[in-house]
A and B are shown apart, each in its own frame.
Chain A
Amino acid sequence: MEEKNTMNPGVKSCTCGALVAPFVVGLIGALIVGWWLFPPLLYSKKLQPVRFSHVVHVEDGGMACSDCHFNREDGSFSGIPNTGKCAECHAEPMGEDPEELRFVEEYVATGKQVEWVRYQVQPDNVFFSHAAHSVEACGSCHPEFEENPRELCNKCHPDVGGSDSAPAAQVNRITGYTSMTMKMWQCERCHANENHFELTEEDEAKHIKPVTRANNGCQVCHK
């Protein structure tokens, strides 16, 4: 129903109620698109070229994380093992899993490297040293990391150590980086935190002082 403008007959007056409804519809629609529809559209799912089970290797095979993921003598990180490393055990198929058979035939026998999808790859303008963030380095003050190294790894990495199959990587269609790639603010949770990392009650009980050794200078990461 329209209200009459008594001062200026012929000019329709504003009906706020009638305008609020479409505004709210637009608002809700945008929120739905932005929060629910947009993210899956932005990322594509990429599966690993070879199915890999951490459970089989760690729990059944009795391997330690550091058998494959270790710091080399020069401080560089081994990251994902190459085919040669896998071939130390899988020169011949060890079980009856057809996926293992395919891996041996397609990669081990030919020496071809597996194009593993990496969940977290920093651009080349970011220098990151695993040696500076290693169990040995962090464990010198935080013994809990020495007891459970996965806890330290999981500060940055997803906990895939107990997975039976590697999760699909969500690859950003625009940037090419995955959704798990760390942004600078995530690095700064420690590097820009004077407490170095949030002190726990246990730390405080041990009178650990909130002193950081994490330098936040630009050149530390951007060489």
Chain B
Amino acid sequence: MGIDRRSFISFLAGGAVGTLVTPIPWKLTDDISIWTQNWSWIPKNPEGASEYVPTVSKLCPSGCPVRVRTVGGKPVGVRGNAEHPYSRGGVTPLAAAEAELLYSPARVRRPLRRTPDQAYVAISWDEALAILEEKLGAIKGYRGKLAMVSGDPDGTINEVFSAFLAKAGSADFYLMPGEAQVAAKAWNDVMGGQGAVGYDIGNSDMVLAVGADVLESWGQVVRNRKAFADKRPHGEKPKAKYVYAGPVQNNTAAGADAWVPINPGTEAAFLLGLTYQVLKEGFRVDAAPDFDEFKTFVMSNFAPQNVQRVTGVAATTLVAVAKDLLRASAPLIVTGSEFGQGGGGAAMVAGLALNLMLGGLNRKGGLQALPDMPQVVSGAKDAKGLRSADLVAYLADVDKGRTPLPEAMLFYEANAAYGLPEASKAAATLAKVPFKASFSVFFDETAAMSDLVLPVPLGMERWDDICTPYGSGEVNYQLARQVIEPVFEAVNAGDVFLALAAKLGMSLGYSSFRQVLEAKASAIGADLDALQEGKPFTAPAKVTQYALRMNPGVLAKAIKDADKGGDIALAPVFYLRTGTGSTAVPPFNLKTIRDTELLGKESFVQLNAATAGKLGLREGDRVSLSNEAGTCAARVHINEGVMTDAVAALLGFGHTAFDAYSQGKGDNVAKVMKTRFEPGTGIPVWAGAKVKIAKI
């Protein structure tokens, strides 16, 4: 019997029917459906035991205490530390993002050297140290040839850096700009105060925050929030009143009992207007010999009507806030900039003076004068010296030729090319420096213009510390614990500088940075074991003041400071969730960015309807913000939470470096933060900068 067409079809039919009752079609269909879900990028749960390691975030500028959850020794998440007295379980959005950032595509994975064709090639640490040794050895001992910028506001590592520079013959060691420097200049230089400025928010029953975004980004923010929550238990009568004065209804304004909208840059006038009301009640500062002069200055210039004209605050509102301060048993005035930098000295002096008048100095719930911690690295700049060194002023002098251009600049977790005011101009000045080396976790804008890029460990990959962060009401010290070995070839910059110092024949007295930290703990009398368990060291010490000055002459000059470069006042807004200049926007936090903050590759600025109407702008219009410092592009979002004639702009966008999550997203507002030097105090100020807004 032959095989004809019919029998072949019959054979196939039999095979098909038979196949249907075998696992072949069904199992293959099922398996293929499972296979389609096998994507390489789907994260796999790590194996192992869960542990929670208490430490403190060095990534977040607020120094948030946290517990890092590890599984099988690998960090998988960051949580609040319920047992820590400062955070009590709270965590900032930046600290919470750290575990994910361990594997960020923006991380510097190995030492890199820039070639003449601007490409970066990987080199070994030995080669990197040899290059540093050669470059720094050649300029060692020559004043003005070497400068360094640190992005760590309060770590002992700054002692290592500044001592290194001192031994190399340089005094040009600077911190990135922050609130602490403005407070120090106002308190130490203008008012003759001793110690560092601190605020006991937790024990105050009336907190007036002027500019300072105390519930969002200012100081030890989680601690502030817990203090706020403690005094305002749900369903009960609040035990403390919070008032916020500033041009934008930020989260502090939203949480406070009252938001007092004031024109940007007029904080000093507002505070002196309140001082006028307090002086009327007979309050004075006996410790200040020039108090009567100060009183005359205020009483003759800051009557409510005058203040209303300058600040936009109604006289009745001003009087009501003053009454609240007078009624409170522990009033506290916290002065700052809405975005944590660039605030004026006049406002800071006025805020501190008002605290003094209300009897707040070193009182529970008041202004605190905190002693600095003992130093452990010989030759390092003292804390006061660190605070008074001004990077913006230094770069302005370099730019104008008043100070020689350094031959080498070192950066430690400091993204100066992105984060400084007048960012484009600052980057251009830095570009002129012949040799630059950036010690950075991420490949940021400053790394992208450096000749040498050296990877440093992320906070949870290294031992580090925090010494009394700005905003704290008492002396405190916390240890940041290493939770995991560095994922890449990162080395603690403290160890690198100690090794480099030894190579250059200028020993700093320690062979490892861990020893420096142990010496610090010992010097302040802290229990190292307790610190390693995540417990903070605190000390009740306060600095008694003997000769304070109210300095009305300086105030009279400084109060006249105002930018005239445009019609609209720039009011930058800083959220920890969109990161800092050194971190960019953590991918973990992308979900928190609203469509009215960033849409596609365009960021937004916010105006109220009155301002928009005056400028002929509507929701979604594309605009440029410009002044002498530069230009910044954005789209318009109408928000009635912004004062008239002010434009709110969120910091953190417009990166040209980092990764796909930040690069090319929006524009950098720092480009239009025009800097001016405040008359009287000489402090560089970029809060309250004016811009012109034009539709494009």
Q: Which residues of A contact B (CB under 8 A)?
A: 18-31, 33-35, 38-39, 42, 72, 74, 76, 78-80, 82, 123-125, 172, 174-177
Which residues between 1 and 55 of chain B lie within 8 Å of chain A, taking CB atoms? Answer: 1, 3, 6-8, 10-19, 21-24, 27-28, 31-32, 34-35, 37-38, 42-45, 47-50
B105: interface (CB < 8 Å): no
The answer to whether A30 and B17 have CB atoms under 8 Å apart is yes
The answer to whether A22 and B8 have CB atoms under 8 Å apart is yes
Which residues between 539 and 587 of chain B lie within 8 Å of chain A, taking CB atoms? Answer: none
The answer to whether B47 and A123 have CB atoms under 8 Å apart is no
**Alpha-carbon separation in the docked complex, A112 to B483 (Å):** 20
The answer to whether A76 and B49 have CB atoms under 8 Å apart is yes
Return B21 CB to nearest CB of chain A, in Å: 7
The answer to whether A35 and B23 have CB atoms under 8 Å apart is yes
Return A4 CB to nearest CB of chain B, in Å: 17
**Alpha-carbon separation in the docked complex, A28 to B21 (Å):** 11
Task: Please indicate which of the listed interface residues B11, B13, B28, B37 has the most CB atoms of chain A within 10 Å of its own CB.
Answer: B11
Taking A23-B10, A177-B34 as contacts, is the C-beta distance between A28 and B3 under 8 angstroms? no
**Alpha-carbon separation in the docked complex, A78 to B48 (Å):** 7
The answer to whether A26 and B18 have CB atoms under 8 Å apart is yes
Taking A27-B18, A31-B18 as contacts, is the C-beta distance between A124 and B23 under 8 angstroms? no
Range class of the B interface residue count: 35 or more
**Alpha-carbon separation in the docked complex, A74 to B24 (Å):** 43
**Alpha-carbon separation in the docked complex, A174 to B10 (Å):** 31
Taking A172-B31, A177-B34 as contacts, is the C-beta distance between A30 and B7 under 8 angstroms? no
B434: interface (CB < 8 Å): no
Taking CB atoms, residues of chain A closer than 8 Å to B44 are 124
Q: Which residue of B lies closest to A36 (CB)?
A: B22
Q: Can you name 17 A-B residue pairings with CB atoms under 8 Å?
A: A19-B10, A21-B7, A22-B3, A22-B11, A22-B14, A23-B10, A23-B14, A25-B14, A26-B10, A26-B14, A33-B19, A34-B18, A35-B22, A76-B49, A123-B34, A123-B37, A174-B31
Contact of A176 among B17, B27, B38 (CB under 8 A): B38
Taking A82-B72, A174-B35 as contacts, is the C-beta distance between A18 and B1 under 8 angstroms? yes
The answer to whether A27 and B15 have CB atoms under 8 Å apart is yes
The answer to whether A39 and B23 have CB atoms under 8 Å apart is yes
The answer to whether B23 and A82 have CB atoms under 8 Å apart is no
The answer to whether A31 and B22 have CB atoms under 8 Å apart is yes
Taking CB atoms, residues of chain B closer than 8 Å to A72 are 49-50
**Alpha-carbon separation in the docked complex, A27 to B14 (Å):** 4
The answer to whether A74 and B22 have CB atoms under 8 Å apart is no
The answer to whether A19 and B6 have CB atoms under 8 Å apart is yes
Q: Which residue of B lies closest to A39 (CB)?
A: B23
**Alpha-carbon separation in the docked complex, A46 to B6 (Å):** 45
The answer to whether B7 and A22 have CB atoms under 8 Å apart is yes
Taking CB atoms, residues of chain B closer than 8 Å to A24 are 14
Taking CB atoms, residues of chain B closer than 8 Å to A42 are 27, 31
Taking CB atoms, residues of chain B closer than 8 Å to A31 are 18, 21-22
Contact of B24 among A26, A33, A124 (CB under 8 A): A33
Known: A76-B49, A124-B44, A172-B31. 17 other contacts (CB 8 A): A22-B7, A22-B11, A23-B11, A23-B14, A27-B15, A27-B18, A30-B15, A33-B19, A38-B27, A39-B23, A72-B49, A80-B47, A123-B34, A174-B32, A174-B34, A175-B31, A175-B35
Q: Which residue of A lies closest to B15 (CB)?
A: A26
Q: Which residue of B lies closest to A30 (CB)?
A: B18
Q: Which residue of B lies closest to A79 (CB)?
A: B47
The answer to whether A22 and B49 have CB atoms under 8 Å apart is no
Taking CB atoms, residues of chain B closer than 8 Å to A74 are 50
Taking CB atoms, residues of chain A closer than 8 Å to B47 are 79-80, 82
The answer to whether B22 and A33 have CB atoms under 8 Å apart is yes
Task: Please indicate which of the listed interface residues B1, B8, B45, B48 has the most CB atoms of chain A within 10 Å of its own CB.
Answer: B48
Contact of B49 among A18, A19, A38, A78 (CB under 8 A): A78
Contact of A27 among B17, B35, B45 (CB under 8 A): B17
Return A37 CB to nearest CB of chain B, in Å: 10
**Alpha-carbon separation in the docked complex, A28 to B15 (Å):** 7
Q: Which residue of A lies closest to B8 (CB)?
A: A22
Taking A34-B18, A39-B23 as contacts, is the C-beta distance between A26 and B34 under 8 angstroms? no
Q: Which residue of A lies closest to B28 (CB)?
A: A174
Taking CB atoms, residues of chain B closer than 8 Å to A18 are 1, 6-7
Taking CB atoms, residues of chain A closer than 8 Å to B31 are 42, 172, 174-175
**Alpha-carbon separation in the docked complex, A183 to B17 (Å):** 26
Q: Which residue of B lies closest to A175 (CB)?
A: B34
The answer to whether B18 and A19 have CB atoms under 8 Å apart is no
The answer to whether A26 and B37 have CB atoms under 8 Å apart is no
Taking CB atoms, residues of chain B closer than 8 Å to A78 are 49
**Alpha-carbon separation in the docked complex, A177 to B34 (Å):** 9
**Alpha-carbon separation in the docked complex, A80 to B48 (Å):** 9
Taking CB atoms, residues of chain B closer than 8 Å to A123 are 34, 37
The answer to whether B18 and A29 have CB atoms under 8 Å apart is yes
**Alpha-carbon separation in the docked complex, A23 to B37 (Å):** 38
**Alpha-carbon separation in the docked complex, A174 to B31 (Å):** 6
Chain B, residues 86-112, CB within 8 Å of chain A (1/0): the string is 000000000000000000000000000
The answer to whether A124 and B45 have CB atoms under 8 Å apart is yes
Taking A33-B24, A34-B22, A34-B23 as contacts, is the C-beta distance between A26 and B12 under 8 angstroms? yes
The answer to whether B6 and A34 have CB atoms under 8 Å apart is no
Taking A72-B50, A174-B31 as contacts, is the C-beta distance between A124 and B18 under 8 angstroms? no
Return B585 CB to nearest CB of chain A, in Å: 26
Q: Which residue of A lies closest to B6 (CB)?
A: A19
Return A25 CB to nearest CB of chain B, in Å: 6
**Alpha-carbon separation in the docked complex, A26 to B50 (Å):** 57
**Alpha-carbon separation in the docked complex, A25 to B19 (Å):** 12
The answer to whether B17 and A82 have CB atoms under 8 Å apart is no
Return A203 CB to nearest CB of chain B, in Å: 34
Taking CB atoms, residues of chain A closer than 8 Å to B24 are 33-34, 38
Q: Which residue of B lies closest to A24 (CB)?
A: B14
Taking CB atoms, residues of chain B closer than 8 Å to A38 are 22-24, 27
Q: Which residue of B lies closest to A12 (CB)?
A: B6
Q: Which residue of B lies closest to A127 (CB)?
A: B45
Nearest 9 A/B pairs, CB to CB: A34-B22, A26-B14, A30-B18, A26-B15, A23-B14, A22-B11, A27-B14, A27-B18, A26-B11
